[in-house]
Amino acid sequence: MPDGDWTIPQLAVTVDLAVLTIRSDQLQIMLVERGIPPFQGTLALPGGFLASTSEDIDAAATRELTEETGLRAEHLHLEQLRTYGAPDRDPRQRVITVCYLAFAPDLPSPTAGGDARAATWMPVDKALHKRTTIAFDHKQIITDALERARNKIEYTTLAATFCEPEFTVSDLRKVYEIIWAQPIDPRNFHRKVTGVPGFLIPTGDRTIRHGGRPATLYRKGPATLLHPPILRAAPHGR
């Protein structure tokens, strides 16, 4: 474009949070009921506008998380998912949002605050159901968050983030099965995860909480990447 033939567009910046946890043996996502227009009374991801032009985006994400849900970022694995900027994604004005993805084990019930009238956990498959109305483009963001989670646990140790501090290989396998929505062969899984250096550290204790023979308890080790990766089975027809 020639010099002097354009103007700086007026944009607003928001942050949104896709917070995933496992509750009642289901992968669930945190949603809030919007207390203000647009989409007042409709479910949406927690989030909001930057408080000022000087607020850091990461700081805005942690602030919105606490204000709208009562949860604190230090208890979560938090990372940027992607930026969404379709011109018509917000009816008020041109809004660019930076979405964050968070993982954590069995989080407590959120407490609504800020612009949120209520906060709740919802199974991801229910949130993505065609009959469920989600504000803005947040259903697409949830879809992207689910796929990111499914991909990341193939090559990183983040699946252990969904477990309690001490867990069995069966507990970890269940996390994979819930996130991938497919069964996993127990013996192959045990061999793979215990063969990754630094992934699982034995605590020296055993448990019989699942019944049967005592199972070894582990904690997450220092490893962050899985080599080789643990790959999910391809869906039928893929």
Cα Rg of the chain, angstroms: 20
| Inter-residue contact 164 to 105 (CB < 8 Å) | yes
In the block, residue with structure tokens 């994400």: 61
Complete DSSP assignment for 103-126: E-SSPPPP---TTEEEEEEEEHHH
∠ Cα 33 20 153 (to 5°): 160
Q: Could you state, in chain order, the average pLDDT of each consecutive group of 10 residues for the chain (238 residues)? A: 64 95 93 92 94 93 86 85 96 95 78 70 97 98 98 96 93 97 96 96 91 90 94 72
Give the model's pLDDT for residue 113: 61
Q: Which CATH architecture has domain 157-220?
A: Orthogonal Bundle (1.10)
What is the number of H-type helices and E-type strands within the chain? 5, 9
Nearest to residue 23, comparing CAs of 151, 145, 162, 159? Answer: 162
Tokens 């968070």 found at: 102
pLDDT value of residue 114: 63
Stretch (H or E) spanning 72? none
Delimiting residues of CATH 1.10.10.10 domain(s) in the chain: 157-220
Amino acid at 138: H
pTM metric for this prediction: 0.90
Query: What is the distance between the alpha carbons of residues 14 and 97, in angstroms, rounded to a whole number?
Result: 5
Question: In the prediction, which pLDDT does 236 show?
Answer: 58
The amino acid occupying position 54 is S
pLDDT of residue 116: 64
Closest by CA to 14, choosing from 41, 68, 62, 51, is 51
The encoded tokens of residue 77 equal 């694995």
CATH code reported for the domain at 12-153: 3.90.79.10
CATH 3.90.79.10-classified regions of the chain: 12-153
Question: d(Cα 20, Cα 45) in Å, to the nearest integer?
Answer: 11
d(CA 24, CA 58): 30
Interatomic CA distance for residues 180 and 30, integer angstroms: 19
Residue 100's nearest CA partner among 128, 81, 119, 114 is: 81
